[in-house]
Chains A and B, each alone.
Chain A
Amino acid sequence: MTELDLLYSEVEEDLRSAVRALLADRCPPQAVLTRCEGPEPQDTGLWRTLAQELGVVALQVPEALGGAGASLRETAVVLEELGRACAPVPFLGSAVLATTVLLAAGELAAGEWPALCAGDRTAALAVPLSTAPDAPFPLGVRADAAGALTGAVTSVADVPGAGLLIVPADGPAGPGLYAVDGADVTVTARGSLDLTRPLVDLRLDGAPGRLLVGPDQAEAVLWEALLTGAGLLASEQLGLAEWCLATTVAYLRERRQFGRVVGSFQALKHRLADLWLDIAGARAAARAAADALATGSADAAVLVAVAASHCGAVAVRAAEEAVQLHGGIGMTWEHPVHLYLKRAKADQLALGTPGRHRASLATLATLPAPGGPLPRMPHV
């Protein structure tokens, strides 16, 4: 096991400051709240600014392809800030999931980078957001010999506005990952628990597809993309949990009942201390996963499973505690804490639930499940 770097470098802290300042200016919680009920829930203007002013939509893409030539560690820092702002941008779908596939596709994806790196176009990976890394390769879409794709995919994130879809499909020679133009796909919006990361259903009716990754690599590349997504989602969950804790602490330092600041009551302080403790663990786990993914460590699958199961649960608890400890205010539509609750709960299901990631440790850490026949009930 190589030495993990669990800290933030100066460069990473500078990147964080830049992203945080931009988000504070461009998408404060009240603006996100207003936008999520409007015609364009995702903020394409903000995306373009993230790309053109900060260059953060293609961080781990090599400079030769137009990216920043950084690593998944920096990408994870951006996700922390996007989670803290509950920002409605397609970063997870485009800059993480789709980008991982496109990088694996090498030369075949070369033409896609200029528009993606410039922020003029986004990409999405056409799988249900709930797909876990260890799920079987999806076969709901068929590709014929000419590369025409037919079938359906449900509950896909970050699709609206995406010019490029990466569609896993069952081709004539086996599973493959295909590039499909967004305009050639029927997109149906569906009601989504998470207002800031809306989901859609896709229907493909002979849509022209271009094979990016063939049967020899398709399953491995999809697994890598989902593993990377699940590992970096932990950083988004960390940022989200940190916002919930900070916002709740600020509120409890002001709110008075029984003639005292309610934050002085031990019953509440101890809950927040426990939450802080879990968030400290989330920070270590999320950093470990990001570092292992960035360095291509053989231990990455274990550290992703640990981070995904821990951080997913912590983010939900942070958001639930935030709602409860804001009292009646927390239950109102006008306070943005519900955006975080919805994002946290949806994130918990995204790319594998905590329980599913823990279950994968049965194999990864050699902790086998009970086997053999179940005990017989003598009188039944």
Chain B
Amino acid sequence: MTSADELVIRTAELLAAHDPAATEPLEFLRARFDAGLAWVHFPPGLGGLGAPRALQAVVDAELAAAGAPDNDPRRIGIGLGMAAPTILRYGTEEQKRRFLRPLWTGEEVWCQLFSEPGAGSDLAALATRAVRDGDGPDAGWTVDGQKVWTSSAHLARWAILLARTDPDVPKHQGISYFVCDMTDPGVDVRPLRQLTGEAEFNEVFLTGVRIPDAHRLGAVGEGWRIAQTTLNNERVAIGGQRTPREGGLIGILAETWRRNPELRTHELHQRLLQGWTDAEVLRLTGERLRQQLAVGQPGPEGAAAKLAFARLAQELTGLEVELLAEQGLAYGDWTMSRPELVDFTGRDAGYRYLRAKGNSIEGGSSEILRNIIAERVLGLPAEPRSDKDVPWKESAR
């Protein structure tokens, strides 16, 4: 097994061969991937060394100290957090080699085509169809349907896509998982303006989109099971992030409190202390999750951390607007823009307050996460479902 010392040596070798000050950032990132220092827990040849996940921090610290460029993980979060672990687990060797390197370096942005207007929390009810065209070596699929809430679709080169390949079986069984080329002429991306004023999300219309069979991930009809990997990784990606004390929203709020004694009231003080404590508990919970993952005991805390994060973000951002008093009434800019980043902490307090409302909806609503915890962790029975064993085409929608 690769040790921390060995990683320090390999990182030093990378830096010696590719001086960050004299190397194009993209060239450096490609060299880092090829040296197995991109995500050290991935296999050799795919950007990793099969090392313990916890040792990534060693590499990151060495590279940061040397002023090396990073891959701007916030811009490519869906690729890193969701597409990559799914491709690693279910992709063919060819798919892994084609997709993972440019995904990690940020050359190719990814988005996720899962939700639909009629399939939100009930994702398995999705209606986008993929129909097989032919049987020969050039066989592929033709996709028609509509997807929504697609972050980064306007920037993405590729999408992970769920589509219905068999309407004659119950809804969970007839779904397959594809990699969709976002440059296909049948893909139409339209901005979806949010209550913040900007259009971070999109709606995506798919009309006769061609997907070669080589871009199917896993077996036909296995899409739902594979999607669980994607969704679990999404929640771990949010909940397992390492943050320092007072990182994120609580840091902004605490600084505002310290700098503005005239804004302080006793009632706000009580809520600030409660929020600070909640933020610290959540940070420790995430830290514990990270430690569990590092020694190979992944727990269900991923869904929990996401649920707790949403609750806290809404509590803190609401408090911040109140604390700011007159300034809390202001809002910087309602102009519709299409940002490149998903941003929970940027802009002003009013934006943060409004953006946080999405935290309990995106990536699995808080209600669905509570169902997941209650059913899969606590072992409580599911609500009776009328559509579970009915062929999808006959189910009430």
Tell me the A residues contacting B by CB distance below 8 Å: 1, 4-7, 245, 249, 252-253, 260-261, 263-266, 268-270, 272-274, 276-277, 280-285, 287-288, 302, 305-306, 309-310, 355, 358-359, 361-362, 365-372
A370 in complex: contacting residue of B245, B264, B281, B288, CB < 8 Å? B264
Are A269 and B370 in touch, CB under 8 angstroms? yes
Are A277 and B307 in touch, CB under 8 angstroms? yes
Are A281 and B381 in touch, CB under 8 angstroms? no
B281 in complex: contacting residue of A261, A269, A284, A372, CB < 8 Å? A284
Are A358 and B274 in touch, CB under 8 angstroms? yes
Given contacts A253-B381, A371-B261, contact A7 B375 (CB under 8 A): no
6 contacts between A and B (CB under 8 A): A249-B380, A253-B379, A269-B370, A362-B269, A367-B276, A368-B258
Instruction: Compute how far the CA of A142 lies from the CA of B264 in the bound complex, rounded to whole angstroms.
Output: 42
- B382 part of interface (Cβ distance < 8 Å): yes
B381 in complex: contacting residue of A263, A362, A369, CB < 8 Å? A263
Instruction: Compute how far the CA of A325 lies from the CA of B29 in the bound complex, rounded to whole angstroms.
Output: 55
- B371 part of interface (Cβ distance < 8 Å): yes
Given contacts A273-B378, A367-B257, A367-B276, contact A285 B284 (CB under 8 A): yes
Instruction: Compute how far the CA of A277 lies from the CA of B278 in the bound complex, rounded to whole angstroms.
Output: 12
Question: Cβ of B383: which chain A residues have Cβ within 8 Å of it?
Answer: 264-266
Instruction: Compute how far the CA of A274 lies from the CA of B311 in the bound complex, rounded to whole angstroms.
Output: 11
Instruction: Compute how far the CA of A302 lies from the CA of B369 in the bound complex, rounded to whole angstroms.
Output: 31
Instruction: Compute how far the CA of A277 lies from the CA of B239 in the bound complex, rounded to whole angstroms.
Output: 12
Q: What is the CB-to-nearest-CB distance from A350 to chain B, in angstroms, rounded to a whole number?
A: 18
- B7 part of interface (Cβ distance < 8 Å): no
Are A260 and B384 in touch, CB under 8 angstroms? yes
A359 in complex: contacting residue of B254, B261, B273, B292, CB < 8 Å? B273
- B291 part of interface (Cβ distance < 8 Å): yes
B residues 297-337 in Cβ contact with A at 8 Å? 301, 304, 307-308
Are B378 and A7 in touch, CB under 8 angstroms? no
Are A276 and B277 in touch, CB under 8 angstroms? no
Question: Cβ of B371: which chain A residues have Cβ within 8 Å of it?
Answer: 266, 269-270, 273
**A-B contacts, CB under 8 A, total:** 132
Q: Which of B269, B274, B378 has the most CB of A within 10 A?
A: B378
Instruction: Compute how far the CA of A77 lies from the CA of B131 in the bound complex, rounded to whole angstroms.
Output: 57
Question: Cβ of A280: which chain B residues have Cβ within 8 Å of it?
Answer: 285, 301, 304
Question: Cβ of A288: which chain B residues have Cβ within 8 Å of it?
Answer: 284
Are A269 and B375 in touch, CB under 8 angstroms? yes
Question: Cβ of A245: which chain B residues have Cβ within 8 Å of it?
Answer: 378
Q: Closest B-chain residue to A252, C-beta based?
A: B380
Instruction: Compute how far the CA of A187 lies from the CA of B384 in the bound complex, rounded to whole angstroms.
Output: 59
Instruction: Compute how far the CA of A6 lies from the CA of B286 in the bound complex, rounded to whole angstroms.
Output: 10
Are B295 and A284 in touch, CB under 8 angstroms? no
- B27 part of interface (Cβ distance < 8 Å): no
Chain B interface: which size bin?
35 or more
Given contacts A7-B295, A361-B276, A369-B266, contact A272 B380 (CB under 8 A): yes
- B237 part of interface (Cβ distance < 8 Å): no
Question: Cβ of A365: which chain B residues have Cβ within 8 Å of it?
Answer: 254, 276
Q: Closest B-chain residue to A287, C-beta based?
A: B288
Are A276 and B377 in touch, CB under 8 angstroms? yes
Q: Closest B-chain residue to A264, C-beta based?
A: B381
Tell me the B residues contacting A by CB distance below 8 Å: 245, 254, 257-258, 261, 264-266, 269-270, 272-274, 276-278, 280-282, 284-285, 287-288, 291-292, 295, 301, 304, 307-308, 367, 369-371, 373-375, 377-384
B273 in complex: contacting residue of A249, A269, A284, A361, CB < 8 Å? A361
Instruction: Compute how far the CA of A277 lies from the CA of B309 in the bound complex, rounded to whole angstroms.
Output: 11
Question: Cβ of B295: which chain A residues have Cβ within 8 Å of it?
Answer: 7
Q: Which of B270, B277, B282 has the most CB of A within 10 A?
A: B277
Question: Cβ of B367: which chain A residues have Cβ within 8 Å of it?
Answer: 266, 270
Are A362 and B273 in touch, CB under 8 angstroms? yes
Question: Cβ of B378: which chain A residues have Cβ within 8 Å of it?
Answer: 245, 249, 269, 272-273, 276
Are A285 and B370 in touch, CB under 8 angstroms? no
Given contacts A7-B295, A269-B370, A280-B301, contact A367 B281 (CB under 8 A): no
Instruction: Compute how far the CA of A187 lies from the CA of B310 in the bound complex, rounded to whole angstroms.
Output: 51
Q: What is the CB-to-nearest-CB distance from B320 to chain A, in angstroms, rounded to a whole number?
A: 14
Q: What is the CB-to-nearest-CB distance from B359 to chain A, in angstroms, rounded to a whole number?
A: 15
Are B266 and A367 in touch, CB under 8 angstroms? no
Are A5 and B281 in touch, CB under 8 angstroms? no
Are B273 and A264 in touch, CB under 8 angstroms? no
Are B281 and A310 in touch, CB under 8 angstroms? yes
Question: Cβ of B274: which chain A residues have Cβ within 8 Å of it?
Answer: 358
Q: What is the CB-to-nearest-CB distance from B171 to chain A, in angstroms, rounded to a whole number?
A: 20
Are B380 and A264 in touch, CB under 8 angstroms? yes
Q: Closest A-chain residue to B285, C-beta based?
A: A284
Q: What is the CB-to-nearest-CB distance from A125 to chain B, in angstroms, rounded to a whole number?
A: 27
Instruction: Compute how far the CA of A361 lies from the CA of B380 in the bound complex, rounded to whole angstroms.
Output: 38
Are B288 and A270 in touch, CB under 8 angstroms? no
Are B380 and A253 in touch, CB under 8 angstroms? yes
Q: What is the CB-to-nearest-CB distance from A269 to chain B, in angstroms, rounded to a whole number?
A: 4
Instruction: Compute how far the CA of A4 lies from the CA of B266 in the bound complex, rounded to whole angstroms.
Output: 33
Are B374 and A6 in touch, CB under 8 angstroms? no
Q: What is the CB-to-nearest-CB distance from B121 to chain A, in angstroms, rounded to a whole number?
A: 12
Instruction: Compute how far the CA of A100 lies from the CA of B392 in the bound complex, rounded to whole angstroms.
Output: 66
Are A367 and B273 in touch, CB under 8 angstroms? yes
Are B273 and A276 in touch, CB under 8 angstroms? no
A284 in complex: contacting residue of B269, B270, B284, CB < 8 Å? B284
Question: Cβ of A368: which chain B residues have Cβ within 8 Å of it?
Answer: 258, 261, 264
B304 in complex: contacting residue of A265, A276, A285, CB < 8 Å? A276
Are B284 and A277 in touch, CB under 8 angstroms? no
Question: Cβ of B304: which chain A residues have Cβ within 8 Å of it?
Answer: 276-277, 280
Instruction: Compute how far the CA of A281 lies from the CA of B287 in the bound complex, rounded to whole angstroms.
Output: 11
Instruction: Compute how far the CA of A365 lies from the CA of B251 in the bound complex, rounded to whole angstroms.
Output: 11
Question: Cβ of B307: which chain A residues have Cβ within 8 Å of it?
Answer: 273, 277
Question: Cβ of A359: which chain B residues have Cβ within 8 Å of it?
Answer: 273
Q: Which of B307, B369, B373, B377 has the most CB of A within 10 A?
A: B373
Are A269 and B264 in touch, CB under 8 angstroms? no
Question: Cβ of A287: which chain B residues have Cβ within 8 Å of it?
Answer: 284, 288
Given contacts A5-B291, A264-B382, A361-B273, contact A272 B285 (CB under 8 A): no
